[in-house]
Amino acid sequence: MLIDRVKSKSIRAIGYDEGKEWLWVEFRSRTGGYIYFEVPHEVFDELMQDASIGGYVNDVVKPKYRCEYRPLPPL
């Protein structure tokens, strides 16, 4: 999984594993991050192109996809 820093007030970094359909979201407000499961690649593409990454995560990702906190990103 490649993890990239993003320009967002609330999110530090985003990563995506296409084979597992895992989305990694690292928030600025805490260490570690969350893995969102079964996220289609199309959703990841929309997220990365959205003008507000934090807004997209709150409005689209959080309500729909199961997640799990992880202190470190997956390898």
- The model's pLDDT over 27-51, given as tens digits with 9 standing for 90+, comes to 998 888 999 999 999 999 999 999 9
> Which residue would you say has higher pLDDT here, 61 or 74?
61
- 47 within 8 A of 16, measured Cβ to Cβ: no
- What pLDDT, on a 0 to 100 scale, did the predictor assign at position 73? 78
Domain ranges of the chain: 2-70
| pTM of the predicted model as reported, rounded to 2 decimal places | 0.91
> In the sheet where 2-5 sits, what is the strand order?
2-5, 11-17, 22-27, 33-36, 67-70
Residue 75 predicted with pLDDT over 70: no
Q: Which amino acid is at 48?
A: M
* Cα–Cα distance for residue pair 1/70, rounded to 1 Å: 14
